[in-house]
Amino acid sequence: MKTIRQIALFCCLYMLMPLVLKGQVQATGQQYYDLGDWVRSAESFELEIRERGARSDLYYNLARAYHQQPQLGPAILAYERCLVLEPTHSKAREGLRLARAATRDGLGSGGSIFRSMGDTLAYQLPLAGWIVVALSAFVGWIVLMISFARARGRRCKRRSFYLAMGSLGLCLVANAMILHQYHYRSEALHRGVLMRSVVPVYEQPSIGGLPIFVLHEGTSCYLDGEAEDGVQRIVLIDGRQGWIADEAITPIALN
C-alpha cells in the first residue's frame, strides 16, 4: 500500500513539473525586466516563445524588453506579431506607435487620419464581437422591415422604417470593421521589419555599387515576392522601391 502511494505521489509531481517550470521561466523574464536587465529579459521571453509557442502576451513582453534596450527592429517586430495574434491589444498598438516614431526613417504606418480613426473604432471589439454585432443588426433589420410592411398606422410605419435603417447602418459599419481587421492582418503578413542599423537599397537585384538610398533599423517594408539569391524586393509606404539583402529584413508572418 505504501509503495502504491509513493508511485501516485511521484506521478503527480511528474505531471506538475512542466507547470512549475513554465511559471519559473515567466517569472524570470518579468523579474529581469523589473530589475532593468532588458537583455536577459528579452532572452527569457524569446526562450518561452520557443518552448510554449506564439502568444500575444509573450510577444508584448518581448517587445517591451527590446524597446527598453533600445533595439527598435526587434521591438517593432514583436509588437507587430503581438497585434497579428491579438489586434485589440491597445498597449501593443501604442507601443508600436512610439517605437515607429523613434525610428530614424520616421515612415510610421503610412496611414491617414481616416486610417487612424478606423483603427480606433475597429479594435474596440475583437473580430468575433463585430461578427455578432453584424449578425444581430442584420436580423434586426429583417424583423423591422417585416414590421414596417405589416404596420397599418403611419406613425408605426415611420418608426419601423427609421429603426430598420439604423439596424442596416449598424450592420454595414460592423461589416466594415470586420473587413478592416482582415485587411490589417493580411497586410501585416506581407510586410517585414528591417533589423540592421543601416540597410542600403539598390535599384537592381545585384547587391553592390552605389545604393539609390538607405534605410535604417525598425522601418517596415512590403515584401514584393519571394527572396531570390539572397536579395529581396521591397516597397515602402511612400512608394519607393528597390532591392536589399534578404538577411537585413525579417517577415512579420509567424512561422
Number of H helices, E strands in the chain: 8, 7
| pTM, 2 dp | 0.79
- CATH number of the domain at 197, please: 2.30.30.40
What is the overall mean pLDDT for the chain? 85
- pLDDT digits 0-9 by tens, 33-92: 888 888 999 999 999 999 988 999 999 999 999 999 989 999 999 999 999 999 889 899
- Domain end (from 187, 212, 237): 187
The answer to whether residues 39 and 89 belong to one domain is: yes
Q: CA angle, 36 as apex, 87 and 32 as ends, to 5°?
A: 75
Based on the domain organization, do 100 and 20 belong to the same domain?
yes
Give the confidence band of 9 by pLDDT, cuts at 50, 70, 90.
very low
Residue 5 domain-assigned (yes or no): no
Question: How far is CA 9 from each of CA 1, 13, 15, 229, rounded to the nearest angstrom?
Answer: 13, 6, 10, 57
pLDDT given for residue 117 in this prediction? 75
Burial of residue 30 (CB within 10 Å: 0-12, 13-18, 19+) is middle
Same structural domain, 82 and 139: no
The torsion region of residue 28 among left (phi > 0), alpha (psi -120 to 50) and beta comes to alpha
CA distance 126 to 177: 10
Q: Measured between alpha carbons, how far apart are the two ends of the chain, in Å?
A: 50
pLDDT tens-digit profile of 129-143?
Answer: 999 999 999 999 999
Looking up residue 60, the CATH number of its domain turns out to be 1.25.40.10
pLDDT exceeds cutoff 80 at 5: no
Domain count, the chain: 3
d(CA 36, CA 50): 23
Domain that holds residue 53: 14-104
